Amino acid sequence: MTQTRIVIIGAGAAGLIAAAEAAQRAANVVLLEKNTKTGVKILMSGGTRCNMTHDTDAKGILPGYGHASRFLRHSVGAFSPQDVVHMFNRLGVATKVESTGKVFPQSDRAIQVRDALQAQAVEAGVKIQRTQPVIGLSRDDHGWQVKTEHEIFEADRVIVAAGGRSWPGCGTTGDAYRWLETLGHTIVETRPALVPLTGGYGWMNELSGVTLEDCVITATNRTSDGQVTTKHKMIRRSSCLFTHFGFSGPAAMDVSRIVTLDEHRKDLRVTLDLVPDRSAEEIELRLLNTAAKNGRRRVSAVLSDWLPNRLASSIAMEMCNDTTIAELSKSARQKILVGLKSLGLPIHGTRGFNKAEVTAGGVSLDEVDPRTMESRIAQGLFIAGEVLDVDGWIGGYNFQAAFSTGRAAGIAAARAED
């Protein structure tokens, strides 16, 4: 019986697991990587710790992918976050769960994750070819041809797992979009996601280094497609970091998906709830009671009970010139409430693909079978990972999508029949 020849483009999270799954099913697998080493993005992720997945089940993780959650239902259902953890445990990588729900290797070493995936592929018989940047992909009556700068590889099936455009220093420069578009695929406009935001008033930028451990960011944006105007909204509760250029941290980076929908941002509104555990009524009552009991106390002193001192002082100065509680007018109290519960953040843009952890947009999901990751446009072509129009929240969501879609592609490619 002749072995199925599979060429996989991209030795990242999706490509490594796809290669192992296909080779374990007796396929002849060649894995092409443009860099000198595999899994470069894995090695850099999570501050070189690699947040592998999130501590939940398949149903619990799907909402984090927005419009792509329905598409991922089959692949994530077949290879859930628990399955990812079990796989790594089986491969010798002990894991731990942090208070945020993020799953890391117990060693806090991303290289252990990369090495485990690479070893699994090599042990299954995968031939890894490094420094093989692909420059073309085509098909004729005899099969697929994958052209690199150095040679041409023949294949019965091809899996494209070449990544998106985020962190281009890792080699992810969006190369695959051109090949796939040439083959007939629609590429949804790509934009940076999980990326720090730029903007803020001067007094906000002066708070650089201040972290809000628990806050809620709400981003809404209206985008027009012809005659149809659609409202997009995202609410994320997590931590947020004030920076000299704007805002970073999980909450800000999560809503960047909404921020980048419209480059002009004329219909963008981003607000910050600094004290999500306290209602406006509770805060106002506290101010009134303090005025009655200790009216000479400064507003900043009261706010510092809830906020970091520098932030409390800045909010008090901006909203009421940090007057005493007794001197607060009703309108000044309302300004403080707005400042605490719905602080408007002027957003100018993002730090771009160079600082983005993932790419939003990519290959249209309508053109890919969600069970197998096979192209609906070109038979024998499978597409997995970040090159798809899939992006998720911070916290291991994007590696989970890569593992699940990569696994589905590897299994289906090895079993597919022309």
pLDDT beyond 80 at 417: no
Mean pLDDT of 154-174: 94
| For range 133-153, the mean pLDDT | 95
Parallel, antiparallel, or unpaired: how do β-strands 228-242 and 246-248 relate?
antiparallel
Per-residue pLDDT at 226 exceeds 60: no
| Res. 228: pLDDT tops 90 | no
Residue 1 pLDDT > 90, yes or no?
Answer: no
Task: Work out the angle at residue 363's Cα, subtended by the Cα atoms of residues 360 and 367, and round it to the nearest 5 degrees.
Answer: 135
Band of pLDDT at residue 223, cut at 50, 70 and 90:
confident
Are 407 and 17 within 8 A, CB to CB?
A: yes
Q: What is the per-residue burial (b if ≥16 Cβ within 10 Å, else e) of 102-116?
A: bbbbeeebbebbbbb
Q: 30-48: per-residue pLDDT in tens?
A: 999 999 999 999 999 999 9
Task: Classify residue 152 as exposed, middle or buried by CB count within 10 Å of its CB (0-12, 13-18, 19+).
Answer: exposed
* Overall residue count recorded for the chain in this entry: 418
Mean pLDDT confidence for 167-174: 90
> What is the rounded average pLDDT of the residues 128-143?
96
Res. 170 pLDDT band, cuts 50 70 90: confident
Give pLDDT tens digits for 342-353: 999 999 999 999
Mean pLDDT across 203-231? 86
pLDDT of residue 266: 78
Residue range 258-305, pLDDT digits in tens: 999 877 677 899 999 999 999 999 999 999 999 999 889 999 999 999
Token pair for 97: 């769960």
Q: What residue segments make up the domains of the chain, in order of their start?
A: 5-192+352-414, 196-351
Mean pLDDT confidence for 158-184: 94
pLDDT the model gives residue 418: 47
Radius of gyration of the chain (CA): 25
- Per-residue pLDDT for 219 more than 50? yes
Average pLDDT over residues 163-173: 91
pTM of the full predicted structure? Answer: 0.94
| pLDDT in the model for residue 229 | 59
% pLDDT > 90, the chain: 91
CATH 3.40.50.2000 fits 5-192+352-414, yes or no: no
Whether 50 shows a pLDDT value over 80: the answer reads yes
Is the pLDDT at 168 greater than 70? The verdict is: yes
Task: Quote the distance between the C-alpha of residue 361 and its chain's center.
Answer: 12
Give 265 or 380, the one with higher predicted confidence.
380
- Strand pairing class (28-32; 127-129): parallel
